[in-house]
Amino acid sequence: MSALFEPYTLREVTIPNRIWMPPMCQYSAAPEGPSVGAPADWHFAHYAARAAGGTGLIIVEATAVSPEGRISPYDLGIWNDTQAEAFRRITGFLRSQGTVPGIQLAHSGRKASTDRTWTGGAPVGPEAHGWQPVAPSPVAFDDRHPVPSELTVEEIQRIVARFADAARRALAAGFEVAEIHGAHGYLINEFLSPHSNHRTDAYGGSYENRVRFALEVVDAVRAVWPQDKPLFFRISATDWLEDGGWTADDTVRFAAELHAHGVDLLDVSTGGNASSVRIRTGPGYQVPFAARVKAETPMPVAAVGLITDAEQAEKIVANGEADAVLLGRELLRTPTWAQHAARELGGSVHVPEQYHRSV
């Protein structure tokens, strides 16, 4: 059998194949009113199409644990029961297609309160549903972004509790995998990296202090997330800075600690925390970071980064570089990518009965 189409079990959840969809913001939720932050028709159609296309696991886009944790006013949230109930339509359909529904729980920190990406993504103020961002330190992401408010210890603890509350609601909404967003320059990543964390208290300075917030969030979520369901953590394996940033060595060290705290898989990406960095990309350019974590720690990993064709994805899994692949832009272009890959590799994948003529 093709390695890409072997089922994969974490705890007591079995994912039917190794073709997974990563979180990708749609910026399509209501910015205000009774349905603020709740998934709507666009979200249902978007995720349903990829499930009908055979994707094994779909991780719903960054979903904010609080209103100020959104990247934009148009982001999804799961800080209230109305939002959680609205997700049930999506999770129910995904399960009906054999797809495992996952959700990424997020807080955007200093990169919050921006417009939609297709209108430029510039910071927005109260006149456009915006708000004051918060961060570990009063250091702006770049010249466009405002200086964020430095979080107090009491505020940090409230955010930890928000993650736990969001995990409870995600369970009630029917999700089977929860992922904590610790990547791409958002709040948890900001605490991890000395580039953005200039604190001098128990949450800054040393490596041990900078990982404290992340581990507190993991412990809080793991305490309420069922023991039979897996917990993922998405990380930026490097800031791509020559000095003064989070490094691949830090990631390997941290992966082992996350595993000890009950994280079941590391979703390995890179970058997003240093605005001046220009990353040289290419096919599979982030896969070596996942492969190193897999080789040097007990942590299972998923790989991302310009994975576009079936043979490439097959080799990543078959060679043991990662346990699964996450296809972002490629699944935006081709919702039925898994079915095409199955035909190419001789694998077996779900095809809806309504589409039997396509087989």
153-172 helix and 212-224 helix, angle to the nearest 10 degrees:
30
User: Can you name the residues that pair with 30 across neighbouring β-strands?
Assistant: 36
How confident is residue 214, by pLDDT bands cut at 50, 70 and 90?
Answer: very high
| Confidence check: pLDDT of 358 > 90 | no
Q: Which of 186, 203, 207, 355 is an active site residue?
A: 186
- pLDDT, mean of residues 129-136: 97
Average pLDDT in the chain: 97
Tell me: the pLDDT tens digits for 244-273?
Answer: 999 999 999 999 999 999 999 999 999 999
- pLDDT, mean of residues 227-234: 98
Helix (H, G, I), strand (E, B) or coil at 267: strand
Measure the CA angle with vertex 276, ends 69 and 135; round to 5°: 25
How many independent structural domains does the chain possess?
A: 1
Query: Domain of 46?
Result: 3-358
**Nearest to residue 36, comparing CAs of 4, 5, 81, 1?**
81
Q: What is the CATH number of the domain that holds 323?
A: 3.20.20.70
Tell me: the pLDDT tens digits for 23-63?
Answer: 999 999 999 999 999 999 999 999 999 999 999 999 999 99
Q: Cα separation of 134 and 319, whole Å?
A: 42
Indicate the helix (H) or strand (E) that contains 177.
strand 177-182
74 is catalytic: no
Q: Cα separation of 273 and 318, whole Å?
A: 32
Backbone angles phi, psi at 138, to 5 degrees: -80, 65
Q: Cα separation of 75 and 174, whole Å?
A: 20
